[in-house]
Structure 1
Amino acid sequence: MEQARPRPGATDVPRARIPQQQARGEHTHGEPVEHGRGEPVERTHGEPVERTRGEPQAAGVQRHSVRGQILEALRSALVSGDLLPGEVYSAPALGERYGVSATPVREAMQQLAHEGAVEVVPNRGFRVTERSARELSELAEIRALLEVPVMLRLARTVPPERWAELRPLADETSAAAARGDLAKYVDADRAFHRAILALAGNQQLLLIADDLHRRSQWPLMTGPVHHRRADLVADAAEHSALLEALVAQDLSVVRELVREHFNGAV
């Protein structure tokens, strides 16, 4: 037995000791498999027996609070690549990883399924979504069709001092990019775009745009860490350039920056 290594984004969630092979991220098979049919066996990341005594949590901590912590931990794990696209993960196994019962994990995974980050695999768990290049392109196109006209309208009507209020949000994306902190960056990126669209005063627009934005972020960035950081820094620089164009009411630059930003969005 060895102590499970920390998972990104789960610092507020208690951990449990887990089997050594799970701590190393190796595949385990929790369901009996019928052999001899010549069918491929789907890999599942563990099926430990679910606890019967309830989830360990501090006194006074409500289940919905634990579920919220698990949801954020799972989101960070998806972004960082701790949960791999195409792999199936069971709620009990993830519960063992984060030191809780399967119930809050299953509830959090259902929310992620609603957001398009995972899909339900009956009797096995949840498969992390794999986005194709075409899907990403389609999401970028939809975001551009939705947000570009709104930003152009806002550029004509919002006074420069209101745009200046968004500068700290742009700075947060730059700081996260400089650290190469992908999990923090995607949160700051969504916050920046939400703040711009909020100026339109349309709550339904915010809900739809944020859902599209989150779906486009689930495919984690791959490759060497220094390449990730360079991509993040370039992406964050576009936020600052967009603010400058909005202040100047330069509509052609706004249109070009937003479309380019979506096509290369994190």
Structure 2
Amino acid sequence: MEQTGARGAGPLAGAPRVRVPEQAGREVRGPAARRTVRRNSVRGQILDALRAALVGGELTPGEVYSAPVLGERFGVSATPVREAMQQLAIEGAVEVVPNRGFRVVERGARELGELAEVRALIEVPVMLRLARTVPAARWSELLPLAEATVTAAAGGDLARYAEADRAFHGAMLSLAGNRQLVEVAEDLHRRAQWPLVSGPVSARRADLVADAAEHMSLLEALIARDIPVVSTLVSEHFAGAGGLT
């Protein structure tokens, strides 16, 4: 069992306790959980809240967090927190520290670049194929998702942007009709969104508006079936990937 002396919330230390509702569709409030909960289980809701805290920089790379202490702050037992952390360990966001808790993985620019390269190898060829086959009307249906990334970027909300970003990319790839492709791409995308060990959160927020603008430009090119522009945009999008693209 983790020692309760391990850091429970880092930047969340001064936050009020967060009560996680039992039913889906209700909003979880507090610095660690600013998104609308969509999962039925407490574990799933805690997992969503922790993912948001990771992306938003509220859980610090290199720090150890205790499940009992985090559970106290969320207003739940340590069990769903520990289960959620174990899922994050599978995803590569944290690592188990015996008898202490979970340490947020310290990642560097090299790992982020490797993830961007793998994502490009998967997504770019698919997008170019879809650009030649999917009718403009189908691309137009994705405009609300692209606009959602613009709205999140304007608000500077890293967690909300990350969610909107994954939704946009996932919707585009789903047009290929390959569920395994979408699941693999989403896993890689989520891993790419975990924060770097260095670099201020403000610098990451500054990139959101540009990334969201790329989404809009890409969708406009897809609707116009301008293949050369699509090719350039998707290649540049991943070449400059900074984790939240």
Q: Normalising to structure 2: TM-score of the pair?
A: 0.81
Match of 1:110 among 86, 97, 100: 86
Match of 2:212 among 218, 221, 236: 236
Cα displacement string for residues 3-60 of structure 1 (whole angstroms, at most 9, x for unaligned residues): xxxxxxxxxxxxxxxxxxxxxxxxxx756xxxxxxxxxxxx315xxxxxxxxx977x7
Match of 2:63 among 67, 83, 87: 87
Matched, 1:207 2:183: yes
Cα displacement string for residues 217-240 of structure 1 (whole angstroms, at most 9, x for unaligned residues): 011694363x44431100000000
Q: 2:13 — aligned with what?
A: none
Following superposition, the deviation at residue 133 of structure 1 comes to 0.9
Following superposition, the deviation at residue 61 of structure 1 comes to 5.9
Q: 1:45 — aligned with what?
A: 7
Q: 1:9 — aligned with what?
A: none
Larger Rg: 1
Q: 1:25 — aligned with what?
A: none
Following superposition, the deviation at residue 252 of structure 1 comes to 2.5
User: Quick one: structure 1 residues 61 and 141, their matched pair in 2 at CA, closer, same or farther if it must change by over 3 Å?
Assistant: closer
Q: AA paired with 2:7?
A: H
Matched, 1:175 2:151: yes
Greater mean alpha carbon deviation, residues 132-141 or residues 244-253: 244-253
Following superposition, the deviation at residue 160 of structure 1 comes to 0.4
Following superposition, the deviation at residue 248 of structure 1 comes to 2.2
Matched residue pairs, number? 216
Q: 1:8 — aligned with what?
A: none
Are 2:4 and 2:68, in contact at CA under 8 Å, matched by a contact in 1? no
Secondary structure at the counterpart of residue 41 of structure 2: helix
Following superposition, the deviation at residue 135 of structure 1 comes to 0.5
Are 1:71 and 1:105, in contact at CA under 8 Å, matched by a contact in 2? yes
Q: Normalising to structure 1: TM-score of the pair?
A: 0.75
Match of 1:138 among 109, 114, 117: 114
Q: How does 1:14-163 map to 2 (within 5 A)?
A: 30=4, 44-45=6-7, 65-163=41-139
Segments of 5+ residues of structure 2 without an aligned counterpart are 9-18, 25-38
Q: 2:31 — aligned with what?
A: none
Following superposition, the deviation at residue 95 of structure 1 comes to 0.7
